[in-house]
């Protein structure tokens, strides 16, 4: 192999290189660098679940450089977690405008629309997300939830089955497609199929109380009181039942205890129901 001859760097050339390296950055370049640093700080705070601080830092970053789709998307997630729904929607919309080819931005926007019961907008955003990432099981799962909410149950079943197909190919499958599909199948009285999906959900994540609750409801519907009770007791060990869901959880638990002739425990469950599970 023939190497090119060495180039001789003259003293004048060294001085020119030093001059260029010492050339001051423009105000715009300085802002962009500072914005990048702030974005990284905000992302780290978000990972640490310090979302209020993260939101403040990300807003500083975007004030210096508004053309940051990733920062805008992360700011939307901070707002969403804090329940600032209007701000979250605005941030996700801005993220999709800054980068229309970001499937996550469309997916997060769809989730935000779903939480506000804007189901037509949800489906529109999910279609945009699916066109960019057809193998993302999260997109199909939310399509199933949305179609279920609109009463299009056949389409919901198809969406959940598509979600499960892609979920099984994921490096780390999620419990959620199975849980959502199992809950729908139970409503449709397809109890053996529902049990299969819910048990698969439990095998993927044993720390989600809602999965145990759905299995408990299913077994209660089948007249299997001991099995239903076992699932609800496991739910209490797995995770804290949310305050807003405590009523229906402890109501079912009380009914099971009454059916089993365990009145004292049933009354305790009713008391917990009145206290919101606290």
Q: What is the pLDDT of residues 219-245, one digit of tens each?
A: 999 999 999 999 999 999 887 777 778
Whether the per-residue pLDDT at 12 is higher than 70: the answer is no
Average pLDDT over residues 43-64: 97
- Residue whose structure tokens are 């926007």: 109
Whether the per-residue pLDDT at 266 is higher than 50: the answer is yes
User: pLDDT category, 175, cuts 50, 70, 90?
Assistant: very high
| pLDDT mean across residues, the chain | 90
Question: Which has more confidence, 21 or 144?
Answer: 144
Q: In the prediction, which pLDDT does 19 show?
A: 44
Q: In the prediction, which pLDDT does 28 show?
A: 72
Nearest to 193 by CA among 183, 203, 185: 185
Average pLDDT over residues 180-186: 98
Helices (H), 48-169: 51-64, 69-81, 85-98, 103-115, 119-132, 137-150, 153-168
Residues 173 and 205: their CA atoms lie apart, in Å, by: 10
Structural domains of the chain in order of their starting residue, each with its CATH number? 32-116 (1.25.40.10), 135-202 (1.25.40.10), 206-278 (1.25.40.10)
Residues 93 and 108: their CA atoms lie apart, in Å, by: 9
Average pLDDT over residues 104-122: 98
Average pLDDT over residues 245-269: 94
């Amino acid at each position: 192999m023939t190497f090119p001859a060495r180039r001789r760097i003259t003293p004048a050339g060294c001085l020119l290189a030093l001059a260029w390296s010492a050339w001051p950055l423009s105000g715009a370049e300085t802002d962009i660098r500072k914005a990048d640093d702030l974005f990284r700080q905000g992302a780290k705070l978000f990972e640490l679940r310090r979302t209020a601080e993260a939101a403040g830092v990300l807003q500083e970053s975007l004030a210096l450089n508004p053309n940051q789709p990733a920062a805008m998307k992360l700011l939307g997630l901070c707002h969403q977690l804090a329940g600032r729904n209007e701000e979250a929607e605005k941030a996700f919309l801005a993220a999709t405008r800054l980068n229309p080819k970001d499937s996550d931005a469309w997916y997060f926007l769809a989730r935000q629309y779903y939480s506000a019961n804007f189901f037509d907008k949800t489906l529109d955003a999910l279609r945009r997300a699916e066109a960019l990432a057809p193998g993302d099981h999260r997109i199909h799962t939310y399509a199933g939830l949305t179609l279920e909410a609109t009463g299009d149950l056949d389409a919901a079943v198809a969406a959940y089955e598509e979600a499960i197909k892609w979920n099984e190919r994921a490096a780390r499958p999620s419990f959620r497609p199975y849980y959502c599909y199992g809950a729908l199948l139970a409503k449709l009285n397809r109890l053996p199929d529902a049990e299969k999906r819910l048990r698969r959900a439990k095998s993927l994540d044993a720390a989600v109380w809602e999965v145990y609750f759905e299995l408990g409801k299913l077994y209660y519907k089948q007249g299997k009181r001991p099995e239903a009770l076992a699932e609800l007791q496991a739910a209490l060990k797995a995770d804290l039942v949310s305050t807003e869901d405590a009523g229906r959880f402890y109501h079912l638990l009380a009914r099971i205890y009454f059916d089993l002739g365990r009145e004292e425990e049933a009354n305790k469950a009713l008391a917990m129901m009145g206290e919101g599970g606290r």
